[in-house]
Amino acid sequence: MTAPPPPPSSALLTDLYQLTMLQTYVERGMEEPAVFEFFVRKLPAHRGFLLAAGLEQALEYLETLRFSDRELEWLAAHGKMPASFVEYLARLRFGGDVQAMPEGTLFFPNEPVLRLIAPLPQAQLVETRLINLLHFQTMVASKAARLVLLAKGAPLIDFGLRRAHGAEAGLLAARASYLAGFAGTATVVAGVQFGIPLYGTMAHSFVQAHTDEADAFERFARSHPDNVVLLLDTYDTEAAAAKVVALASRLKGRGIAIGGVRLDSGDLAAHARQVRRILDDGGLSQVKIIASGNIDEAALRRLVEAEAPIDTFAVGTHVTTSSDAPYMDCAYKLQEYAGRPCRKRSEGKATWPGRKQVYRTHGPDGRMAGDVITLESDRQEGAALLQPVMQAGKRLAAPRPLADVRAAIAGELSRLPEPLRTLQDGAPYPVRISQALLDLAGSVDRSR
């Protein structure tokens, strides 16, 4: 069966000023091609790279953009807009071209991740939702990639829906973290919508609802014989582990094997060692240990470096909210209008004008060696990162299967320079501004 529709991307998921500006553009016939680019101005503190994500949802938004009858009614009644402009909005569709870095491309500050060319009103209207979609998934994928690199191959699972910022954040965080290399998610809608593998264990309330912890474990095991994962820390973690050993022999006669146990509080490394020993001594060396509870990069690094016997890590809040960097300094800026390059010069927020491209070179070891940001017209050495993805409002290719994006990302991460791959603070990845772009910026400044 096909999946239910995604959360609606209303055309009114925008800032009021977009509509205000559009009205003037339309009145004045300012409908020449505008070139906007989405980029991140600077990296969050202690971050070395970003991972592009969210393009798929951005293209879907562009392709389906239209004002519904109810929205048009609302604008006519409350929008203080002339009827002719509301009629214009009723006909508005996105018919522009988009070039973008494929999802999963590693990128750096000031590099355009997406370039959109469309008549000015169309290109302007979509600013808010495009940023909203690209910013969030890029942020979460970038955070998740850090955890994946630190986990050194141990599976990671997203447990973050409850503390995600609303429903869409939970759904798209599951997607972004899966792309970055997570094994799956607990969020059921993400399984439905994107086919992401679902994982789950049990809650403390399950244990508490029984008068006896061992009874709770046994009931769960008999009810879910193929997925017996028992939560140990409701009362006393090691005592619970001993109950698991006793239960295992009772279940053996029924042909049920215990798959795993979960630890969710206290010193996870210490508990994991004690529980591992109890399980191993009880002949349960095949039972996996899953750890959860406030795991971020620092906690994960400590657990991995301490060689804590943990098989799988469940990460919730920290990945879903990108807790250390819950936003990025990103922008979607006009770089050219009607063939004239534009440059914003606001203090600390100046932009590079014109239609740009990013070229990346790799060293003899296959690792990324450096990028150059230049004009589209200025061919440089290396691979061009921005590729055509939409023409005249239509996608140029079907959405890539998530498995393909995941594989591409795993490859990308393996090509990161070593200090970035090990998440050391240090010298930034080299990104150069080309002479052609410097020349254009100078000439735009002089022309004002």
Question: Looking at 107-115, 261-269, 392-400, 404-412, which segment touches a copy of itself (CB under 8 A)?
Answer: 261-269
- Closest distance to a copy of itself from the beta carbon of 287 (Å): 18
Burial code (b: 16+ CB inside 10 Å, e: under 16) for 246-258 equals: ebbeebeeeebeb
Contact residue for a copy of itself among 91, 211, 365, 392 (CB under 8 A): 211
In the region spanning residues 217 to 246, those forming contacts with a copy of itself, defined by CB under 8 A, are 219-220, 223-224, 226-227, 233-236
Question: Looking at 100-108, 204-212, 274-282, 420-428, which segment touches a copy of itself (CB under 8 A)?
Answer: 204-212
Q: Among residues 350 and 407, whose Cβ is nearest to a copy of itself?
A: 350
Q: Are 444 and 353 in contact (CB under 8 A)?
A: yes
Binding of a copy of itself by 156 (CB under 8 A) = no
**In angstroms, rounded to a whole number, what is the distance separating the alpha carbons of residues 202 and 161?**
16
Token pair of 236, please?
Answer: 């006393």
Map tokens 């819950």 to a residue: 326
Site track 108-127 with a copy of itself (rule: CB under 8 A), x = hit: ------------x---x--x
Contact residue for a copy of itself among 29, 166, 253, 339 (CB under 8 A): 166
Binding of a copy of itself by 9 (CB under 8 A) = yes
Contact residue for a copy of itself among 102, 265, 311, 391 (CB under 8 A): 265
Contacts for 333 with CB less than 8 Å, ≥ 6 apart:
36, 37, 39, 344, 351
**In angstroms, rounded to a whole number, what is the distance separating the alpha carbons of residues 260 and 157?**
14
**In angstroms, rounded to a whole number, what is the distance separating the alpha carbons of residues 444 and 158?**
47
Residues that contact a copy of itself, how many (by CB under 8 A) = 109
- Closest distance to a copy of itself from the beta carbon of 222 (Å): 9
Q: Are 367 and 415 in contact (CB under 8 A)?
A: yes
**In angstroms, rounded to a whole number, what is the distance separating the alpha carbons of residues 336 and 130?**
18
In the region spanning residues 31 to 90, those forming contacts with a copy of itself, defined by CB under 8 A, are 34, 36, 68, 70-71, 73-74, 77-78, 80
Q: Residue 4, exposed/middle/buried by CB under 10 A (0-12, 13-18, 19+)?
A: exposed
Contact residue for a copy of itself among 251, 278, 330, 423 (CB under 8 A): 330
- How far CA 163 is from CA of 58, 105, 110, 315, 333, in Å, comes to 24, 27, 31, 11, 31
Q: Among residues 105 and 321, whose Cβ is nearest to a copy of itself?
A: 321
Q: Among residues 64 and 68, whose Cβ is nearest to a copy of itself?
A: 68
Q: Among residues 28 and 152, whose Cβ is nearest to a copy of itself?
A: 28
Q: Among residues 179 and 416, whose Cβ is nearest to a copy of itself?
A: 179
> HEC states along 305-356?
HCCCCCCEEEECHHHHCCCCCCCCEEEEEEEEECCEECCCCCCCCCCCCCCE
CA 191-198-233 angle, to 5 degrees, is: 145
Binding of a copy of itself by 362 (CB under 8 A) = no
- Closest distance to a copy of itself from the beta carbon of 79 (Å): 9
